[in-house]
Amino acid sequence: MKKICLWLALIALPVSAQVPTVADKNAPARVLITTRDEPGERLIVTGQVFATDGVTPIPGASVYVYHTDAKGYYTPGTNDNRNPRLRGYMRTDSKGGYEFNTIKPGPYPNNRIPAHIHYVVNAPGFSERIFEIVFEGDPNLDDRVRSEAAKEWSGFSLRRLDKDDQGVLRCTQDIKLKR
């Protein structure tokens, strides 16, 4: 009887649903994920989504990104990555371009996983692509992640961050999709 009551109690616990991973059809190509009030270093990521040939841009592709705050948390208190606080939904422009303005994410607290930004990219006629960008200079970056990032279709992309003349970090993340 105790097992049944415990099981019923677990069923009654609230479960947070995962947020959608595909942008609304009218989503903009450029989004602001965080305001200037958000603690952390400002970061702007730009890029284009291409077909498998790496040349043909894909207009209207869905780009969903999410990441932790500067302290390494997706959501304060629960740290639920299925419903992250810092996220953005974009649809690429006529040249396959997108851009988001945010902060550099922090690594997970008490962990050796490098800071990263999650990507989920979709377009009609192409396979969904899920990966993470990680950053050069991250003290948690190891040889395994570097080796994976060197592969064209891996789950990691290693990006160098450069500061512009206003002190904002910038990087480019172009994306190829497979048919």
Q: What is the DSSP string of 90-137?
A: EE--TTSEEEEEEEPPPPPTT--PPPEEEEEEE-TTS--EEEEEEETT
Per-residue model confidence (pLDDT) at position 153: 87
Per-residue model confidence (pLDDT) at position 116: 96
pLDDT digits (tens, 9 = 90+) for 159-177: 999 999 999 999 999 999 9
Architecture of domain 18-176: Sandwich (2.60)
Per-residue model confidence (pLDDT) at position 11: 34
Q: What is the mean pLDDT of the segment spanning 22-45? A: 95
Does the predicted model carry a pTM greater than 0.85?
yes
Residue 17 vs residue 96, higher pLDDT: 96
Per-residue model confidence (pLDDT) at position 83: 85
Question: How far is it, in rounded angstroms, from Cα 57 to Cα 93?
Answer: 9
For residue 168 the two structure tokens come to: 């904002």
Query: What SS3 class is residue 177?
Result: coil
Q: Which residue's structure tokens are 């960008």?
A: 133
pLDDT digits (tens, 9 = 90+) for 42-61: 999 999 999 999 999 999 99
Per-residue model confidence (pLDDT) at position 19: 79
Burial (Cβ within 10 Å: 0-12, 13-18, ≥19) of residue 178? exposed
The residue among 94, 43, 93 whose CA lies nearest residue 65 is 43
Please state the domain extents for the chain: 18-176
CA within 13 Å, CB half, 45: 32
